[in-house]
Amino acid sequence: MTAPETVLPQGPPPPVPRRPPPPAGGRVARWGGASLVVLVVAWSVAGTDIGLGSLLEGRQAGLRMLRSFLTPDLSGEFLAVVASAAVETVQISVSALLLCVLLGLPLAALIAGNVRAPRPVAATARVVAAGLRGIPELLWALLFVATVGPGPAAGVYAIALHGAGLLAKLCSEQLEAVDPAPVEALRLTGASRSATALLATVPQARSGIASLVLYQWECNIRAATIVGLVSAGGIGQDLVISLKLFRYSEAGTLVLAIVAIILAVDFFSRLVRRRLGAAS
């Protein structure tokens, strides 16, 4: 016979530790921060005079412009002007993309932490990239129009500098997000920093970087339209002339051309990203 099992008496379950209540000072700080945000938003709305009143005041001019946009100027002579401006816009965007890549990708490699560039060099590259993207394209365009003169060259330089700063930041994050195992394995074999970056880091981030470069091209198309407002070439230059002369039918044609260019570039870039295996 087997001895009966001894049943040990079960005591009450251990008490669940209670989370201490948040300090009163923390609640006051949160409510104070939320109140400050609400006050800043209300102050901004009141200072900019937005609302239905300002929209209703301009309804007549808006309706007149909308009617003109719905009847675009499709004469052969003006369509030739639009085609020439559209070609110049694409040329500006592609040229700016070339300079973006030549300047932004080396900066990205220097900024990326897993590339391990010397600390002073990495810090300098980070400051340069932040300065480039911190100045908007329109301000860069004004500076270059004042130096090299009106025309597409000023637009190319303006878009390229701002875009290089953006590419440097975004591509450095792509480089830092790669699998560290191949990078460390190659580094342990005694490979140099540049060899490790070229053989282990860049190949893993290739599709992501290609996607960002193509997206930058889309941004360049939009920016090439904007910098035209300050005589830096592109279709925006013709658009601002039409608006100043109240030729809204011509402006409607130019807006349609801008939308068509952006849709075509977006379609092409999605095809290329899909072929490269990048996320669409």
Q: 77-276: what fold?
A: MetI-like fold (1.10.3720)
Phi, psi values for residue 120, rounded to 5°: -65, -35
Task: Name 70's Cβ contacts closer than 8 Å, sequence gap at least 6.
Answer: 252
**Burial readout 119-157 (b: 16 or more C-beta within 10 A, e: otherwise):** eeebeebbebbeebbeeebbebbbebbeeeebbbbbbbb
Q: What percent of the chain has pLDDT over 90?
A: 20
**Distances, alpha carbon 227 to alpha carbons 56, 148, 221, 224, in Å:** 30, 14, 10, 5
Which range, of 8-12, 103-107, 116-120, 156-160, averages the lowest pLDDT? 8-12
Question: Mind listing the pLDDT tens digit for each residue in 30-46?
Answer: 888 888 899 988 888 87
Mean pLDDT score of the chain, rounded to an integer?
Answer: 82
pLDDT-derived band at 278, boundaries 50, 70, 90: low
CA dist., res. 164 & res. 13, Å (int) = 62
Is 60 a residue whose pLDDT tops 60?
yes
Is 29 a residue whose pLDDT tops 60?
yes
Which range, of 43-52, 123-132, 141-150, 243-252, averages the lowest pLDDT? 43-52
Mean pLDDT of 98-122: 88
Is 110 a residue whose pLDDT tops 50?
yes
Which range, of 29-33, 182-186, 231-235, averages the lowest pLDDT? 182-186
Phi, psi values for residue 277, rounded to 5°: 80, 15
